[in-house]
Structure 1
Amino acid sequence: MATVTLHGDNIETKGNLPKVGSKAPDFKLTDTNLATKSLQDYAGHKVVLNIFPSIDTGTCAASVRQFNQEASELDNTKVLCISKDLPFALNRFCAAEGLDNVVSLSDFKDGNFGASYGVTFTTGPLESLLSRSVVVLNEDGTVLHTEQVQETANEPNYKAALEALMDA
Structure 2
Amino acid sequence: MPPRHPAPISWLLTDSRLGSDLPGIVRRLPRGSGVVVRHHHLPPAERRALLRRLRRLATGHGVKIVDDQGGCVARVHSARELCRALLRKPELLFLSPLFATRSHPDWQPLGHMRAAALVRMAKRPAMALGGMSARRYRQVRSLGFAGWGGIDAWTGRGWKKPSRE
Return the TM-score normalized by structure 1.
Answer: 0.38
Work out which structure has the larger RCO, using CA pairs closer than 8 Å and 6 or more positions apart in sequence.
1
Structure showing greater radius of gyration is: 2
Higher strand share: 1
Return the TM-score normalized by structure 2.
Answer: 0.38
